[in-house]
Chain A
Amino acid sequence: MKIFRSFYGCLIVVAVMAACEKEKDKSIPSDSIHIDSLTATFDTVKAWDTTTINCYATGNNLEYEWECDHGNFNGSGTQIKYAAGQCCIGTNTITCTISDSTGYDEEQIQIVVTSYYDGNK
């Protein structure tokens, strides 16, 4: 019995530790690379419609990372397509992060997603 109690004790501790694991550290902000602009073909889109987002940056051998708080992407690199369904109506934030060996820079753009039943795009 003792071994089972010990095991479950360990399981709980490890599970809590794993769940509370801190987010990965980003590298330091860089002065030598810079996002010049982050633009979208449409700032407001109807649910499930697509907008294309471009990231123009200064620097060599850059790595582009994309994330959004709600919605979905297609593609990678300097240009990406973004769309979000009816679940994601509202103002959604898209973050582009560029990085190289010297560090990183990031910019955000907000896309408003309106209802599928709205006429605007």
Chain B
Amino acid sequence: MMEINKLPYVYLFIVFLGFGYFKTISAQCCSAGNPFFYSEQANLGYKELQMAVGYKYSASDTYYKGSEKIDINDIEKAWFNYLNLQLVYGLTQRLSIQTDLGYFINKSEEYFKEDWATKTGYGLGDATLTLKYLAFKSFTHKYSIIPSLGMKFPIGVFDQEVDNVKLPITIQPSSGSFRYLLNLFVNKSFKNPKLNLGFYGSFEYAQLIDSENFYYKYGNVYLFSVIGSYKVFDKINLGLEIRNENRAKAGRENEQVVESSGYSLVYTILHLSYSISHNWLLSVNSELPVNKYYNGIQLGNKFAVAASLSYKISFSKIVVEEIEKK
């Protein structure tokens, strides 16, 4: 077992490693926004630490006008490979702090037009800092309410260019502006300990992007999600999530509304998690949009798959164990 006094330094080392890498990338170019990445919503206990490394792949290849498919000879395929580093720490029994760092291995667009070359953006996306508070917990009724506040920092480089030509905003890795998050998570467990139900609601406000090259304000996002999970085997949990994601229309210079922006989507998401050991958890999920409505004409999401590996440790338990040993 690792000595307790060394663990915080290991934690810091991992974070600084990620941060240092980001700074290197950001010196080369810029960024355009992390995708939604499913993560731990529950509050951690006092002095509990959870580290998670995640991966997400998403692909799009069809244009939609409202809910209908439409043939547009522009982007043949758009896809990204994304990494997420997440750290959650229980500051008190009720208050947890969470950091997320996003990194795009690639964010690419391939075109129908023969002479148009495939474009790829890459690099660090945004960093998110979230404070979660266990506002209410009922042991008798088996539910808890956890509101949280977050802020996304556009630490990745924006205005990325290739061969002295700026990449379009759609493949810039960072969002280019601060974003503010307000979330609510309600968790309900039952007499049957294998069953669990969660509700998640989130509101995101995006500040205006006013960079050297872009003047653009993404619409606000309203996200609602219900997830039910069942422990099918001793170490395996299976979950089904229904998520509704709504984005308002964007705005550009001269208070012009971008009519072909904003959407309302319903996803079904299958979750599968495997407890490798008491501390280690492997999770995979697949996102499939089942109901889509895009304002105007837009390229729609086709599917996404994600995986994450997390490690949880309790420093307070280690302290007790150390004392007991002595």
Q: Which residues of A contact B (CB under 8 A)?
A: 1, 3-4, 7-8, 11-12, 14-16, 18-19, 23, 47-48, 50, 63-76, 80-81, 83, 85-90, 116
Contact = CB atoms under 8 A, between A and B. Distances in A.
A49 to B, nearest CB: 10
B115 A74 contact: yes
Given A7-B12, A12-B129, A67-B213, A48 B73 contact: yes
Would you call the interface of chain A mostly helix, strand, loop, or mixed? mixed
Contacts of B212: 23, 67
A87 B258 contact: yes
A36 to B, nearest CB: 19
B113 interface: yes
A52 to B, nearest CB: 11
Q: Chain A CB within 10 Å — which of B165, B166, B211, B296 has the most?
A: B165
Contact of A74 (B113, B253, B297): B113
Contacts of A14: 19
B237 to A, nearest CB: 30
B155 A90 contact: no
A8 B97 contact: yes
Contact of A66 (B116, B165, B256): B165
21 contacts: A7-B12, A11-B127, A18-B155, A19-B155, A64-B164, A67-B159, A67-B213, A69-B213, A73-B165, A74-B116, A75-B165, A76-B163, A80-B165, A81-B115, A83-B113, A85-B260, A86-B296, A86-B297, A87-B260, A88-B258, A89-B259
Given A23-B159, A67-B166, A74-B116, 19 more contacts: A15-B127, A16-B153, A19-B154, A23-B211, A47-B297, A65-B164, A68-B213, A69-B214, A70-B252, A72-B119, A74-B113, A74-B115, A83-B74, A83-B113, A85-B72, A85-B74, A85-B297, A86-B296, A88-B258
